[in-house]
Amino acid sequence: MMLKPFWQSGDPSPRPDLLLIGNSVRAAAFSAIRAGFHPFCLDQFGDRDLMQFTSVQKYNEISEISDYLNPSLPLPWIYTGGIENQLTWLNHFLEQHQNYPLWGNRPSTLKKVRSPKWLSKRLSEWLSEFLTQDRIRYPETHFSIPENYPKKKYLLKPFKSGGGNNIRFFQPEDIAHVSRATFFEDYYLQEYLKGELYSAQFISDARGAKLLGITQQLQGLQELRAKEFQWCGNIGPITVSLSLTQALSKLANRLVQLAQLRGIFGIDFIMHEQNAYLLEVNPRYTGALELIEYAEKINTFSLLQQIFQPNNSSTYSLDINDPKADHRIAKGILYARQDFRFPSYLEVPIQKQLSLQDVNLCPVLADIPAENDQIGTGYPIMTIFAHAHQKIEDLFWLEELTKIRHPQTKPIYDLICQAIENNEVVGNELAQLKHFARAWELLLYEA
């Protein structure tokens, strides 16, 4: 099938000046729009709120992407989640589209920072150089069955990981599969650590990295129908100890030096028994970053342009206020508990929400599917937000549907309104998020 290029001379829409590619690019696209760009977006969802503000083309297979591009209109481009695991495709794309400047990390960098073997080796080397309070450790990691199994719990992780998908505990019955020659080419074992998850966001040029902010990471929340180790949102910005902040910055700068990390990247870590352990490096725009951008009023795409665009100033500055508790925002990814179609009876409040949406303000809902979109079990439905500055007027969708569709949501609506009126939302964004998730469960499945 012949596919239409994204823009031709004479098209009524603004001429694109930036290309975004990834599984879902809505958050990055909104950031780019706030910076004054007109992005053309290629992603796998084509959500309505994204289509409302910019040009979007939905793709099914990554091999289709080049068919949508206009060779006569080369653009700087950025990839988001999922692309960092597609090294073969990325190498081919960069070779085929050499006139498309990449505002991000190249395959040579990805091979390092996405490799547990490389990270494990580097962290071991650096431990002796850092002071005790500066140390960020790496979990015990194996590429064959460890001698102390099953005395110690291990997670089975795919090398091509994303969002915690396909991670689970290694079980005795898995040993039968280890005999396959390719088993440890696809998976590795990592010590299971219990603790709070976090994600630190950075931006860098050749000279070093700048910390943008830190968020708490949500994983496996039952209220959001996430699987045990599946990423389902973030809360932030948050503050951590000065020594940990310095350790994270030191680690980020080492990665910039040794792996040539450039642009935006995230470092996911877990606090276990008062020690920080690096889990993975996400060398791209992450799902956590929009919370920091909304709360702290910074825009990473303006900085990216200064770093990557030729003939620009060789310096950039970033003045970030210390994160404040009352500026925290929670976002939750609501996953489908069963196959279903996004219901048409939600159209009135969804359309009203879309009419009020402003990319400069933190949304109430985001990544909104189209009416009657088929959503499979375990796939994301949409993103919901909760924050200290929530207004009761923002809950019109819940109030309206309470009246006409599902009376059982009224206690939830009343509870949230009371929390907002009593200023109880501050510090309880997660509780509010769980209430929202419960309301949507009722509205989507039980109405």
pLDDT tier at 151, thresholds 50, 70, 90: confident
Phi, psi dihedral angles at 378 (to 5 degrees)? 85, -5
What pLDDT does 291 receive? 95
Phi, psi dihedral angles at 334 (to 5 degrees)? -90, 120
Whole-number mean pLDDT of the chain? 86
Residue 2 has pLDDT above 70, yes or no: no
Mean pLDDT over 165-176 rounds to 83
pLDDT tier at 9, thresholds 50, 70, 90: low
Answer whether 103's CB lies under 8 Å from 77's CB: yes
What pLDDT does 389 receive? 73
pLDDT tier at 318, thresholds 50, 70, 90: low
Residue 438 has pLDDT above 50, yes or no: yes
Residue 277: helix, strand or coil by DSSP?
A: strand
Answer whether 335's CB lies under 8 Å from 163's CB: no
> Kind of pairing, strands 18-21 and 39-43?
parallel
Domains delineated in the chain: 18-102 (3.40.50.20), 115-133+197-323 (3.30.470.20), 140-191 (no CATH), 328-445 (no CATH)
Mean pLDDT over 98-104 rounds to 94
Residue 253 to residue 262: CA distance in whole angstroms: 11
Nearest residue to 164 (alpha-carbon basis) of 287, 255, 276: 287
For 26-73, the pLDDT digits (tens) are 999 999 999 999 999 999 999 999 999 999 999 999 999 988 888 778
Residue 284: helix, strand or coil by DSSP?
A: coil
What pLDDT does 410 receive? 85
What pLDDT does 43 receive? 93
Q: Give the torsion sign (CA, 329, 426, 201, 225).
A: negative
Which DSSP letter does residue 241 get?
-
Which residue matches tokens 């060398």? 283
Q: In what order do the strands lie in the sheet with 18-21?
A: 55-58, 39-43, 18-21, 77-79
Beta-carbon-side half-sphere exposure of residue 48 (alpha carbons within 13 Å): 19
What pLDDT does 8 receive? 58
Answer whether 435's CB lies under 8 Å from 412's CB: yes
**Percentage of the chain lying above the pLDDT 90 cut:** 54
How far from chain centre, in Å, is Cα 382? 13
pTM: 0.91
Residue 198 has pLDDT above 80, yes or no: yes
Residue 370: helix, strand or coil by DSSP?
A: coil
For 79-96, the pLDDT digits (tens) are 999 999 999 999 999 999
Which residue matches tokens 């910055």? 249
pLDDT tier at 315, thresholds 50, 70, 90: low
pLDDT tier at 324, thresholds 50, 70, 90: low
Phi, psi dihedral angles at 227 (to 5 degrees)? -70, 170
What pLDDT does 177 receive? 72
Residue 385 has pLDDT above 60, yes or no: yes
Q: Give the torsion sign (CA, 303, 305, 308, 311).
A: negative
Exposed, middle or buried, 365 (CB in 10 Å: 0-12/13-18/19+)? buried
Residue 245 to residue 306: CA distance in whole angstroms: 25
